Amino acid sequence: MVGNKNPVQRFFFMNFITQTVENSILENTLCQDLVEMKFLLLVTMITVGLAAEGGDWTYGDQSTWEGDCNTGTRESPIEVTGADKIVAYKDRIIFPAKATVKVETAGLKTVQLDFVNPPTFQMPSSWPVGHTKGLQALQLHMHWGREGEAGSEHFFMGKQFDGEAHLVCRNLDQEDDTAGDAYAVFGVLLEIDDSSIDVGSLNLLNILKSETTDFDFTQVYGEIRLSNMFTYEGGLTTPGCDEKVLWHLCSVPLKVSTLLMSKLRELGGSDYELNYRDLQPLNGRKITHRFLGMPYSTPEEEEPQQCDVDCYAAEQNCRWTNTAVESFPSILLLLIALFSLF
């Protein structure tokens, strides 16, 4: 279990809800048929290779993990304590609506949802991955801790959350499977809160109970999470810990039920009670905070300074709308809400 929302989480949430809403339309993905054929084989490989797969290794003795695990320099997970760079982007990230999944646990050290027909989606033109040919969602799997204990892989500001979901995507812009940005993983922290469960938690539970086979992206990877992420260059969190992942960590956790976490442990089986890797050294890597928003100038500047992408707060003297007072749309929404009460 973890406690209530800390100040950092509150900031991120406020940051999100006060962003200027835009009406940009994501470009359609091109040549998807060709791309899907090309990567059909890769899907099978990745399904086996990127989850917490079976084998001789255990979570109890991570010092013996082979591959890059104990020799690499850009390993995962890490603790996020802030950002070295701030990037605002103006085009919304839109994932597919729904996709059919199949629950897999056999031979794995996780519970994994494999996409039957891996969907492809395009990232904004300013994004470091998937902006040309797109990203292809391969599978989603979960990490957790012992009952009553935290089990996320990434930490935020000193806090380990109850669990973590990883959506593993192939970067179709990158043909080299071993390149540092060959994959993009979207991590969502899971936080047990039975009093305010997110609908995405119910969707996941129904899938695990086989009451539905459709994973609803919008309930887990909707705008609230895709509009506010931290990215860094890292690797797989299971042996051989290949360093070929651009990590995306959503700053807004998913509120889940105790029942969902119990179901994960039940399906995971008795071989292991937890399945998260220990924190790895940052080794000087830079963390980027990316969010959908419209930057504006500091008060001392006469003309607003617009910088849609790669706007370094320190270098370009930009700031962002992050309080209700500074955000006109938020004030408008607040007034509408107040009037609606009378």
Chain positions contacting Zn ion, by CB under 5 A: 166
CB 141 → Zn ion: shortest distance, Å? 5
Instruction: Give least dist CB 106 to Zn ion, A.
Output: 17
Find the shortest distance in angstroms from Cβ 304 to Zn ion.
Answer: 41
Q: Say if residues 78 and 282 touch (Cβ distance below 8 Å).
A: yes
Compute how many other C-beta atoms are within 10 angstroms of the C-beta atom of residue 71. Answer: 9
**180 three-class SS:** coil
Complex with Zn ion: residue 133 or 166, whichever CB lies closer: 166
Q: What's the min distance (Å) between Cβ of 47 and Zn ion?
A: 13
Q: Measured from the CB of residue 143, what is the shortest distance to Zn ion in angstroms?
A: 6
User: What is the C-alpha separation between 76 and 161, in angstroms, rounded?
Assistant: 16
Nearer to Zn ion, 166 or 289 (CB): 166
305 burial level (CB within 10 Å; 0-12, 13-18, 19+): middle
**Closest to Zn ion by CB, 122 or 152:** 152
Burial class (CB in 10 A: 0-12, 13-18, 19+), 203: buried
Helix, strand and coil in the chain, % to nearest 5: 25, 25, 50
- Closer residue to Zn ion in complex, CB, 247/291: 247
Report the alpha-carbon distance of residue 99 to residue 97 in Å, rounded: 7
Give the residue with the Cβ less far from Zn ion, 142 or 307: 142
Q: How far is CA 326 from CA 5, 252, 307, 320, in A?
A: 23, 21, 18, 9
Nearer to Zn ion (CB atom), residue 60 or residue 284:
60
Nearest residue (beta carbon) to Zn ion: 166
Distance (Å, whole) CA 330 – CA 323: 9
Minimal distance, residue 238 CB to Zn ion, in Å:
7
